[in-house]
Amino acid sequence: MTENTPYLIAGLGNPGPAYRQNRHNVGFMVVDTLSETAGIALQRVEFRALVGKGEFAGEKLVIAKPQTYMNDSGQAVAALLHFYKIPLERLLVVHDDLDLPFGTLRLRPSGGTGGQLGMESIASRLATRDFSRLRVGIGRPPGHMDPRDYVLHDFDPPEQELLPEVRGTAVDAIRRFIHEGIEKAMNDFNGSVIDED
């Protein structure tokens, strides 16, 4: 690894306008906000991912949105890591999490996939779960609603009003991860973004 080795920030979601505002696409939403904040346009298609390259927080950065659909996200992530010679410690995957309340962020340096199909695909392709992830809480489905249906529904209007704050704080957490490492980012950002009155 050299000082020119970039970080790879990969947001998970499903491509296409029908899925754009779905809860399952909050990983895409966060990296879109990162793209805007960093001034790194997501214009290139590489290894079945929409990719942008530039600098952020004083480091070289590759931002990616796999275009393979959620359950094969690992194909693009593994190919990008290999092509850019990025070590696992410089990978951060951003994804939705049913088991966290809406508006809660949780960074982890490794761990299980929680049944999240995109994460399962990445762990399978990389043959390890030892990579950092930023989980963005979307909450549990109401009543007896099937979780598979819930994640493919759009956020409801009150959640949509709060999403910009959640997305912005997630980008701050990514900045901290890049600049100071996963432990510092965990200490400062794990918890609810939303004020609970």
Segments forming the whole domain that contains residue 54: 7-192
The number of folded domains in the chain is 1
Q: Say if 40 falls within a structural domain.
A: yes
Q: Which of these is catalytic: 24, 82, 95, 179?
A: 24
Per-residue pLDDT of the chain (197 residues; tens, 9 = 90+): 566 899 999 999 999 999 999 999 999 999 999 999 999 999 999 999 999 999 998 899 999 999 998 999 999 999 999 999 999 999 999 999 999 999 999 999 998 887 888 899 999 999 999 999 999 999 988 888 888 889 999 999 999 999 999 999 999 999 999 999 999 999 999 998 877 54
Q: Say if 38 falls within a structural domain.
A: yes
- For residue 92, the tally of other CB atoms under 10 A from its CB is 23
Residue 24 catalytic?
A: yes
Q: Say if 197 falls within a structural domain.
A: no
Say if residues 113 and 130 touch (Cβ distance below 8 Å): no
Q: Say if 65 falls within a structural domain.
A: yes
**For tokens 């970080």, what's the residue?**
7
Say if residues 107 and 182 touch (Cβ distance below 8 Å): yes
Q: Say if 77 falls within a structural domain.
A: yes
Q: List the CATH number of the domain containing 24.
A: 3.40.50.1470
Query: Which pLDDT score is estimated for 3?
Result: 66
Question: What pairs with residue 97 in β-bridges?
Answer: 137
> How many angstroms separate the CA atoms of 91 and 161, rounded?
30
Structure token pair of residue 158: 């009150």
The DSSP 8-state label assigned to residue 32 in this structure reads: H
Collapsed DSSP state (helix, strand, coil) of residue 19: helix
Query: Which pLDDT score is estimated for 4?
Result: 81
The DSSP 8-state label assigned to residue 84 in this structure reads: T
**Terminal Cα-to-Cα distance of the chain (whole angstroms):** 46
> How many angstroms separate the CA atoms of 190 and 146, rounded?
27
> How many angstroms separate the CA atoms of 70 and 73, rounded?
5
Q: Say if 16 falls within a structural domain.
A: yes
Q: Say if 2 falls within a structural domain.
A: no
Structure token pair of residue 116: 């999240």
Q: Say if 147 falls within a structural domain.
A: yes
